Structure 1
Amino acid sequence: MTDTGNIVPEYLRHIRNAVDDVREDMREVKTRLGILENRYAGLSGRLDRLDSRVERIETRLNLAEA
């Protein structure tokens, strides 16, 4: 017969270690996602400015429809 008194704490330690690993991974994922969001925001702003510049060029060259 096995001693369940020793097995339970062992399983709990294993679960705690697994949760700690997941927590660490989630921190990394959140950090990387934040970096991606910042880069996307910067790129989006640049594309908006580029779009307005192209519209101005089209208007000056009479290429834009009214």
Structure 2
Amino acid sequence: MIRPNASLRQIYESGLARQYADWLAGMNESIAISRNLQSLGLPGAWSVGRVQTPTLALLAKPPHV
């Protein structure tokens, strides 16, 4: 069924707000964690994100036996 664009505007705006919040939080958290870990002597840049962090953990950790 074809619906008018106006009926989907709220869903679009919710997704856009979530995308912006994820980007902003991830950027700030990545900078904060990188600076804190670098002050402890751990080199490199660390990346944090709402979806990225658990996905990378699944890829980096071996499966439980």
Q: Report the TM-score when normalising by structure 1.
A: 0.54
Aligned residues: 44
- The one-letter amino acid of 1:62's match is G
Shift of residue 33, structure 1, vs aligned partner? 0.8
Runs of 4+ in structure 1 deviating by more than 3 angstroms, as ranges, are none
Match for residue 29 of structure 1? 8
Higher helix share: 1
Higher radius of gyration, 1 or 2? 1
Contiguous gaps of at least 5 residues in structure 2 = 45-65
**Structure number with higher relative contact order (C-alpha < 8 Å, ≥ 6 residues apart):** 2
Q: Report the TM-score when normalising by structure 2.
A: 0.55
Q: CA RMSD in A?
A: 2.0
Match for residue 47 of structure 1? 26
Report sequence identity in percent. Answer: 9
C-alpha distance in 1, partners of 2:36/2:24? 19
